[in-house]
A and B are shown apart, each in its own frame.
Chain A
Amino acid sequence: MSAKRFLVVCLSLWVVPEVSLAHSSIQGIGTFYNGLLHPILVPAHLLLLVAVGLFLGQQDSKAIQPALGVFAFATIAGLTAAWFFTASQTETLILVLSAVIGLVIAVSPKIPLLLSVVIALLAGFLLGSDSAQEALSDKDKFVTLFGNGVAIYFLVFYSMVLVDYLNKKAWQRIGIRIVGSWVAASSLLVLALPFSSQGQT
């Protein structure tokens, strides 16, 4: 199979419509706040957001700016994709990315700028595209996705700024690496779940 055909098959499988059972909305708080709370109430999203924030906070300031810009662009692209279709199996990809980023934070190697940008791109797009609100339409859908985007961006931004601020003393850098190992461990455990005889998704 050629690379192009493989890519087409992968994309087709990804956009196969199916019922979204997760992320039920909270009654009475309005569409914007539902969107705003969505990344906080979905553990996989929160895990990846914290991981991306910690990761970017560990990087040089030269790498942070383009990575944050790409993250914002990718999130908008992902949210636009979520407007049109409900992606499947995205949570697994989110957990894989969280595990990888968690390991990178724990090991804390020197990361090339391009890799930082790629990680920000993948994270933003996955988080945005997994925020589909198929029960809503038109204005409500737009407002919810807008709230989603605001929360995604600011959660990453604030955790990154906090880490950048804390990344001064040795014990602070150690603490960040330890939290990275926690993110990786939490993600890896759940990735093993599909292989369980009692597995649930």
Chain B
Amino acid sequence: MNARNFSSLAIAALFIVYASTVSAHEGTGITGGFISGFLHPVLGWDHVVAMVAVGLWGAFLGNPAIWVLPVVFPLIMAFGGALGVIGVPIPAVETGIAASAVVLGAMVAFTVRAPIWIAAVIVGAFAIFHGHAHGTELPNAANPLAYSIGFVLSTGLLHLSGVAFGLLVRWPAGKVVVQTGGGLIALVGVGFLTGIV
């Protein structure tokens, strides 16, 4: 081995043994559980667009849908989540989540004024898919209750952001903006369904 190779090897060895703090796996305890739960819906764009669409549609339909849909969703989502926790399989969960963005986005884009019970059934049906996806992660969470609180809170805040945005429908130009938003959500959903996004 010549001197040049030896020095390269020595430098490589030095870097290997160089001690540094391991930053991974900080997500322990209550804080870790809460943060991982809170980020779970936020980091999945398919979840994000569908949740915003729930709020948009609720705002579009007006009272009582504006509060019924954000109340129905987490409760039915908890049922779907419980199925995920227990291990009851639901076929095509990811497809169901992507379809929720397509359907709910289209409802907003085409200003579908469904009766409140039909809107609740549609939103509730999709909530099962979203809940199942979150629920399967729950048993592995650092703190299951903190994870659960985190992801329910995060989901609810996404609904409220959709409701807040949807309140623009009070103005004619705002209605167009909200409908465009719904259309974009539906398109993103199609992208998830076809695998383009």
Contacts and interface: CB of A to CB of B under 8 A. Distances in A.
A192 B160 CA distance: 27
A193 B145 CA distance: 10
Interface in A60-104: 95, 103
A107 to B, nearest CB: 9
A186 B148 contact: yes
B86 A192 contact: yes
8 contacts: A43-B146, A47-B149, A178-B70, A180-B71, A186-B78, A188-B82, A190-B145, A198-B140
A198 B146 CA distance: 17
Interface residues of B, number: 33
B171 to A, nearest CB: 18
Contacts of B67: 174, 177-178
Given A188-B78, A199-B139, A44 B145 contact: yes
A106 B74 CA distance: 11
A193 B72 CA distance: 22
B100 interface: no
Interface of B: 30, 34, 63, 66-67, 70-72, 74-75, 77-79, 81-82, 85-87, 135, 138-140, 143-146, 148-149, 152-153, 156, 159-160
Contacts of B63: 170
A3 interface: no
Contacts of B148: 185-187, 189-190
A186 B140 CA distance: 16
Contacts of A188: 75, 78-79, 81-82
Contact of A186 (B66, B72, B152): B152
Given A43-B30, A185-B152, A200-B139, A192 B70 contact: no
Contacts of B66: 174
Nearest to B140: A198
A200 B139 CA distance: 7
Contacts of A189: 78, 81-82, 85, 135, 138, 144, 148, 152
Most chain B beta-carbon contacts within 10 A, residue among A43, A174, A200: A43
A200 B67 CA distance: 34
Contact of A182 (B87, B145, B153): B153
Interface string A17-56: 0000000000000000000000001011001000000000
Interface in A169-185: 170, 174, 177-182, 184-185
Contacts of A103: 75
A12 interface: no
A181 B71 contact: yes
B69 to A, nearest CB: 10
A195 interface: yes
Nearest to A199: B139
A130 B145 CA distance: 16
B139 A181 contact: no
Nearest to B76: A185
Contacts of B143: 43
Nearest to B157: A182
Given A181-B75, A186-B145, A189-B152, 5 more contacts: A47-B149, A178-B160, A186-B78, A190-B144, A192-B135
Given A43-B149, A193-B138, A185 B87 contact: no
Given A47-B145, A186-B152, A181 B74 contact: yes
A189 B160 CA distance: 21
A102 B74 CA distance: 11
Which 6 residue pairs spanning A and B have beta carbons closest together?
A192-B82, A185-B78, A174-B67, A185-B74, A198-B139, A188-B78
B70 A43 contact: no
